[in-house]
Structure 1
């Protein structure tokens, strides 16, 4: 009974700490745009929308066990969907979000078919090919996409009743969408679909024996991942107000994958940390070396992977384990209770009292030489 009570107390305290952490994070997120400068608010907005894209990639790579180097293509598809609707059809900004999400979901379903036959490096090459040929295709479709010149659209303007600046209003809109997307990803992973994805990632044969439909869940993993990327691309169009094929090269796909790995695969907080890495590290690299920022960026990735092989999300656990290993181990003497230390050690005396006496007395020659009762008479030789 005491064990059950202790377990319930531990769960209650863990939930309380999680709730306090969420409230603190929400307070910091809400107060950030009123404290930072407009450009810094813009950077935080970009971190949030990158987190949405990485959350979808995490579903596919971290929890689904598949690899994709073409996530930037789904990002571009969502961005151009929103841009074309705003530029050609003069539709409201909010109406473009569900259309971009649904369109990229269907695109992910269609692209998930190769995932049924390919895996590993072969699947990575196919997804990379999709990211490579999409920018030239967008340039060819000039009547719709604007070609190499791209499309310029109006940014999302704050309503008069809000009293907020444009960057602050855009930040809060993206923050709300990001919160909904991360909550959806969390609930999806805790559902039957999420458990099936984990089973497929760990062992496909065992998952199939247990009744998991491999083809369905592999395709759905691509579809969900593409949908999140499309939502992030739509937010990108709202924030930037301009799209062009050169903004969505295959380097974007590789950068997103690197950000997810640095942030932490199969972690709910990994996409946020990876998004911050994707946003801020290139700027830091540019400040450190204007001649070769890519070299600094690569060295920083290597350093992070050396310090935290499981990503930044797993770094606190590694630090706690390292500190626990370095602490002096508790000796046996410290584990003894005060009653045990103060009480005299009477065990040898009690043992001696309970066991038969083994004291040896000096031997008497008369007794030793005596014959036992009933023994045969001795002869002269004896």
Structure 2
């Protein structure tokens, strides 16, 4: 009888930490959803309180966040390097521009087509590229970014050449009562929310676990039955698809595309923004979008020659203070505050 009592007590003691961890996970998940809902409410409220130029800036933050979300899938979660992400951004922008300019398609109809074209090109380029790794893969993706600009300039009858294409922006429906800048902001916000939800669902699935396995240890992942080339190629294609979607929305917002807007500098800036925001983190793309949009803008106000210098110095400073990016720094600060509150 005493033996059964001891077994029961041991089981209870073993179950208590398990229940505690489960409750902690539920509380953490609930807190995250509350924070996301609050952030979304603030995002919906902001365009009614900000001047048009600020609304435009935050619209561009969302555009860059969608592009960085795709790059985060490839670099942060699959562990592959890419210096050509700006090329797929440009491809999405030009596919949208050509459809609007040549075929007069509705703006919303261009989004899935631009994303699909970028996905197909990412898949096609990913097949040979994923046989490489490290520095060799970086050089191949860099070549893609270098190749795009002269290619766009060469086909002037279609792309407009160096002069680019000027396009009409989506007009807000009369029933909304919104100004053009507010309407573009909400369109971009809707695309960003859908993109983040899709990425969240993807990473929580078996595919996400396979990508993390590839990132952490390719040899171990292959032993466990993960098809390396398959998931690497898909990660490349998904990354390109989100970049293409971001490029499409960029065309809506700017109303103009030119080859020089999608040079190698864009690819390098996007990668730097993701590293600063936080590789592999949920909030990294959004923080990176803020960094990419506002740091050059603020630096430009200081001095015409300052943006590049300040941008580089800030990257060095962030990497020194927060090696895991701004998202990692925010997480450490939050945990420190939580520990202090618990002690009190």
Q: TM-score, normalised by structure 2?
A: 0.91
Moved more, 42-51 or 289-298: 289-298
2:141 counterpart residue number: 127
**3-state secondary structure, aligned to 1:211:** coil
Pair 1:226-2:240 in alignment: yes
Partner of 1:86: 100
Counterpart of 2:273 (choices 259, 269, 274) is: 259
Q: d(CA) in 2 for partners of 1:23 and 1:322?
A: 24
SS, match of residue 282 in structure 2 = coil
The alignment status of 1:54 with 2:68, answered yes or no, reads: yes
2:220 paired residue number: 206
1:133, distance to aligned residue in structure 2 (A) = 1.3
1:130-279 map, 5 Å: 130-279=144-293
Alignment check: 8 A CA contact 1:288 1:296 kept: no
- Structure 1 match to 2:118: 104
The separation in 1 between residues aligned to 2:97 and 2:151, in whole angstroms, is 16
Match of 1:367 in 2: none
Q: Which has the higher contact order (CA 8 A, sep 6+)?
A: 2
Which residue in 1 is equivalent to 2:318? 304
- Answer with 1 or 2: which has the greater Rg: 1
Kindly indicate whether the alpha-carbon contact (under 8 Å) linking 2:153 and 2:160 is maintained by their aligned counterparts in 1: yes
Q: CA deviation digits over 1:147-189, x for unaligned, max 9?
A: 0110011001100100000000110111011000011011111
Q: List gaps (5 residues or longer) in structure 1.
A: 331-382
2 CA distance for matches of 1:217 and 1:9? Answer: 33
In the aligned structure 1, how far is the partner of 2:30 from the partner of 2:129?
Answer: 41
Alpha-carbon deviations, 1:318-373, whole Å to 9, x = none?
Answer: 33677899x8xx9xxxxxxxxxxxxxxxxxxxxxxxxxxxxxxxxxxxxxxxxxxx
State the secondary structure of the residue aligned to 2:171.
coil
Structure 2 alignment gaps of length 5 or more = 1-11
Across the aligned residues of Structure 1 and Structure 2, the Cα RMSD in angstroms comes to 1.7
Deviation for aligned residue 1:286: 1.1
Q: Does 1:42 align with 2:56?
A: yes
Q: Which whole-Å deviations, capped at 9, do the CAs of 1:199-258 have from their partners, x for residues lacking one?
A: 111111111111111111111011000000000000000000000001111000000000
Structure-2 separation of matches of 1:47 and 1:15: 26
Q: What secondary structure does 1:112 align onto?
A: helix
Q: Determine the C-alpha separation between the residues in 2 that align with 1:292 and 1:12.
A: 46
The Cα of 1:64 is off from its aligned counterpart by 0.7
The structural deviation recorded for 1:104 is 0.4
| SS of residue in 1 equivalent to 2:324 | coil
Cα 1:12–1:119 change in 2 (3 A) is closer
Task: Work out the CA distance in 2 between the residues paired with 1:304 and 1:4.
Answer: 37
Q: Are 1:16 and 2:15 an aligned pair?
A: no
Residues 115 and 218 in structure 1, CA contact (< 8 A), matched pair in contact too: no
Distance 1:206 1:4, change over 3 A: closer
Would you identify which runs of 4 or more consecutive aligned residues in structure 1 move more than 3 Å? 1-9, 317-325
Q: Residue 61 of structure 1: CA displacement?
A: 0.4
Write the distance in 2 (CA, Å) between the matches of 1:166 and 1:145: 26
Structure 1 residue 6: Cα displacement? 3.3
Query: Shift of the alpha carbon at 1:11?
Result: 3.3
1:213/1:47 CA distance change after superposition, 3 Å: same
- 1:99 is displaced (CA, Å) by 0.3
In 2, Cα distance between the equivalents of 1:52 and 1:193?
20
> Could you tell me how far apart the structure 2 residues matched to 1:164 and 1:75 are?
28
| C-alpha deviation, 1:8, in angstroms | 4.3
- Alignment size in residue pairs: 327
How far did 1:15 drift?
Answer: 3.0
Q: Residues 99-139 of structure 1, C-alpha deviation per residue, up to 9 Å, x if partnerless?
A: 00100000000110233321111110111111011111100
Q: Does 1:281 align with 2:279?
A: no
Other-structure match for 2:42:
28
TM-score calculated relative to the size of structure 1: 0.82
